[in-house]
């Protein structure tokens, strides 16, 4: 299997035909067809269904095509980094959707100062894909939470407590704190994408607390808008809660998450040092960064 064969497959799929793929790569059609045939022979299965000048992927071909896209993309990225040398390279940073945008932008700004010649790419992903990408070296680092981090180096940023979020006029806000039992039967806005939110709901279920779901969403802006409109309360990390909403501690449910940076074990030492320095730039990130040494999980 060669990169050329993978590029042949990708081009044919993009063009929808053997002829179009050969034209886009500026190679002869017989050469491209031979390369695809050799690839299919090596894999032991057809990747394409050929019908009257058009092609489409088989079921296994679709799976292989996704892998081929990743392999070719990584190969192109590696080639770019080598050609640019140490003075200019590419840094890929992953972020969980529940990491506050202020921290993401603060880190990006700090990195531009510490690594002015580096091209920064930021990709948002849910925790399973993020952990896989960092573990395989497809991402250089990820802003995530500690118990979702893959094996490798971990730099903590801060603890981020979770509590009840409610409108300012809600009874909970006037009381200043609540107990778990106070949530029983309460109208509740489900933040379906939040890792710790699911943990909180599980803990409430284990104590026999039954919430009354009133709205469910995987977007924080919509969840907090629903809370503001009085559709219900929710549970969320402090760093995500917008101004104008109450943040009320749950006295007998200590739940928090630790935000930090997961580093790929194969990360270049120069980039590693710059990432850690950028994290400690509290002014850029507008957060207090504790003294933290890179540690192995």
User: What's the rounded Cα separation, in Å, for the pair 72 and 273?
Assistant: 28
Give pLDDT, residue 166: 94
Cβ neighbours of residue 103 closer than 8 Å, sequence gap 6 or more: 143, 157, 239, 259, 285, 287
The DSSP-derived string for the chain is: --HHHHHHHHHHHHHTSHHHHHHHHT--HHHHHHHHHHHHHHHTS--EEEETTEEEE-HHHHHHHHHHHHHHHHHHHHHHHHHH-TTS-EEEEEE-TTS-HHHHHHHHHHHHHH-TTPEEEEEE--HHHHHHHHHTTSSSEEEEEGGGPPSSEEEEEEEEEEEEEE-TTSHHHHHSEE-GGGGTT-EEEEETT-HHHHHHHHHHHHTT---EEEEEES-HHHHHHHHHTTS-BEEEEGGGPPTTSEEEEETT---EEEEEEEE-TT--HHHHHHHHHHHT-HHHHTSPPPP---EE-
Q: What mean pLDDT is predicted for residues 43-68?
A: 89
132-142 tens-digit pLDDT: 888 777 888 89
Residue 255: left (phi > 0), alpha (psi -120 to 50), or beta?
beta
Instruction: Calculate the dihedral angle through the C-alpha atoms of 140, 144, 146, 149, rounding to the nearest 10 degrees.
Output: -50
pLDDT for 149-160, tens place per residue?
Answer: 555 578 888 888
pLDDT-above-70 percentage for the chain: 88
What's the CA gap between 250 and 139, in Å, rounded?
Answer: 36
Other Cβ atoms within 10 Å of 14 Cβ, number = 10
The answer, yes or no, to whether residue 245 has pLDDT greater than 90, is yes
Name the average pLDDT for the chain. Answer: 83
Q: Distance (Å, rounded) from C-alpha 268 to C-alpha 283?
A: 25
- Structure tokens given for 47: 């990747």
* Over residues 196-219, mean pLDDT: 81
What is the DSSP pairing of strand 234-237 with strand 212-217?
unpaired
Per cent of the chain over pLDDT 90 is: 32
Decide which of 209 and 216 is more confident: 216
Kindly tell me if the per-residue pLDDT of 148 is higher than 60.
no
Spatial contact of 178 and 235, defined as CB atoms under 8 Å apart: no
Whole-structure pTM value: 0.63
Residue 83 above 80 pLDDT? no
Q: What is the pLDDT of residue 267?
A: 76
pLDDT range class, residue 5, cuts 50, 70, 90: very high
Q: Give the span between the Cα atoms of 2 and 11, in whole angstroms.
A: 14
Q: Does pLDDT of 211 surpass 60?
A: yes
List the Cα angle 282/284/290 in 5-degree steps: 15
């Amino acid at each position: 299997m060669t990169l050329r064969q993978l590029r042949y497959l990708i081009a044919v799929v993009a063009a929808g035909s053997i002829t179009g793929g050969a034209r886009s790569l500026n190679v002869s059609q017989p050469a491209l067809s031979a390369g695809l045939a050799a690839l299919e022979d090596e894999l032991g299965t057809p990747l394409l269904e050929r019908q009257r000048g058009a092609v489409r992927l088989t079921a296994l071909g679709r799976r292989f095509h996704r892998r081929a896209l990743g392999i070719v993309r990584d190969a192109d990225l590696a080639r770019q980094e080598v050609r640019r040398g140490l003075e200019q390279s590419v840094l890929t940073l992953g972020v969980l959707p529940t990491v506050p945008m202020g921290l993401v932008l603060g880190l990006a700004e700090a990195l531009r100062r510490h690594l002015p010649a580096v091209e920064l790419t930021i990709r948002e992903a849910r925790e399973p894909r993020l952990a896989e990408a960092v573990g395989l070296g497809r991402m250089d680092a990820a802003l995530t939470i500690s118990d979702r981090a893959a094996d490798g180096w971990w730099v903590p940023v801060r603890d981020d407590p979770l509590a009840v979020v409610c409108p300012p006029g809600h009874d909970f806000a006037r009381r200043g704190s609540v107990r778990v039992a106070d949530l029983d039967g309460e109208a509740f806005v489900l933040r379906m994408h939040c890792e710790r939110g699911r943990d909180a709901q599980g803990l409430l279920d284990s104590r026999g607390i039954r919430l009354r779901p009133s709205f469910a969403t995987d977007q924080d802006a919509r969840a907090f808008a629903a809370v503001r409109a009085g559709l219900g309360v929710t549970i969320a990390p402090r760093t995500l809660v917008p101004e104008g909403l109450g943040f009320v501690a749950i006295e007998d449910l200590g739940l928090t998450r630790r935000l930090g940076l997961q580093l790929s074990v194969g990360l270049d030492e120069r980039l590693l040092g710059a990432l850690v320095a950028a994290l400690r730039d509290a002014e850029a990130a507008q957060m207090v960064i504790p003294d933290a040494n890179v540690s192995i999980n």
